Amino acid sequence: MTEQTYAVEGMTCAHCAGAVSREVRRIEGVSDVRVDVAAGTLTVGATTPVSDDAIAAAVDDAGYTVVTAR
Protein backbone atom coordinates (compact mmCIF):
# COMPACT_ATOMS: atom_id res chain seq x y z
CA MET A 1 0.00 0.00 0.00
CA THR A 2 1.21 3.49 -0.83
CA GLU A 3 0.25 6.72 0.90
CA GLN A 4 0.52 10.30 -0.33
CA THR A 5 -0.48 13.60 1.31
CA TYR A 6 -1.64 16.67 -0.59
CA ALA A 7 -2.21 20.28 0.44
CA VAL A 8 -5.71 21.31 -0.66
CA GLU A 9 -6.91 24.89 -0.95
CA GLY A 10 -10.44 26.05 -0.21
CA MET A 11 -11.74 23.46 2.29
CA THR A 12 -13.44 25.07 5.29
CA CYS A 13 -15.91 22.56 6.76
CA ALA A 14 -17.04 18.95 7.10
CA HIS A 15 -19.10 19.28 3.92
CA CYS A 16 -15.90 20.19 2.05
CA ALA A 17 -14.14 17.15 3.49
CA GLY A 18 -17.02 14.90 2.47
CA ALA A 19 -17.07 16.21 -1.09
CA VAL A 20 -13.32 15.71 -1.53
CA SER A 21 -13.44 12.28 0.08
CA ARG A 22 -16.33 11.10 -2.15
CA GLU A 23 -14.58 12.14 -5.36
CA VAL A 24 -11.19 10.70 -4.43
CA ARG A 25 -12.71 7.36 -3.33
CA ARG A 26 -14.03 6.92 -6.87
CA ILE A 27 -10.50 6.50 -8.21
CA GLU A 28 -9.57 2.90 -8.91
CA GLY A 29 -7.02 1.60 -6.42
CA VAL A 30 -7.80 4.12 -3.66
CA SER A 31 -8.35 2.25 -0.40
CA ASP A 32 -8.23 5.01 2.24
CA VAL A 33 -8.95 8.76 2.26
CA ARG A 34 -8.36 11.07 5.21
CA VAL A 35 -9.16 14.78 5.04
CA ASP A 36 -7.99 17.25 7.68
CA VAL A 37 -9.85 20.50 7.05
CA ALA A 38 -7.98 22.43 9.74
CA ALA A 39 -4.60 21.50 8.26
CA GLY A 40 -5.84 21.72 4.68
CA THR A 41 -4.59 18.25 3.83
CA LEU A 42 -5.76 15.15 2.03
CA THR A 43 -4.03 11.82 2.63
CA VAL A 44 -4.70 9.04 0.15
CA GLY A 45 -3.88 5.38 0.64
CA ALA A 46 -3.87 3.16 -2.43
CA THR A 47 -3.40 -0.52 -3.19
CA THR A 48 -2.05 0.32 -6.67
CA PRO A 49 -0.20 3.42 -7.86
CA VAL A 50 -2.48 6.42 -8.37
CA SER A 51 -1.19 9.45 -10.27
CA ASP A 52 -1.05 12.89 -8.72
CA ASP A 53 -2.98 14.12 -11.77
CA ALA A 54 -5.86 11.73 -11.01
CA ILE A 55 -6.01 12.98 -7.42
CA ALA A 56 -5.86 16.62 -8.54
CA ALA A 57 -8.66 16.03 -11.06
CA ALA A 58 -10.88 14.39 -8.42
CA VAL A 59 -10.26 17.24 -5.97
CA ASP A 60 -11.04 19.72 -8.77
CA ASP A 61 -14.31 17.87 -9.49
CA ALA A 62 -15.21 18.40 -5.82
CA GLY A 63 -14.61 22.14 -6.25
CA TYR A 64 -11.21 22.51 -4.58
CA THR A 65 -7.56 22.75 -5.66
CA VAL A 66 -4.53 20.60 -4.91
CA VAL A 67 -1.72 23.04 -4.15
CA THR A 68 1.14 20.58 -3.60
CA ALA A 69 1.90 16.93 -3.00
CA ARG A 70 3.86 16.37 0.20
For the chain, the three-class secondary structure string (H helix, E strand, C coil) is CEEEEEEEECCCCHHHHHHHHHHHHCCCCEEEEEEECCCCEEEEEECCCCCHHHHHHHHHHCCCEEEEEC
Over residues 34-55, the pLDDT tens digits come to: 999 999 999 999 999 999 999 9
Please tell me the predicted confidence (pLDDT) of residue 23: 98
2-39: pLDDT as tens digits = 999 999 999 999 999 999 999 999 999 999 999 999 99
69, pLDDT greater than 80:
no
Specify whether the CB–CB gap between 20 and 35 falls below 8 A: yes
pLDDT for 68 equals 84
Q: How much is the pTM? A: 0.93
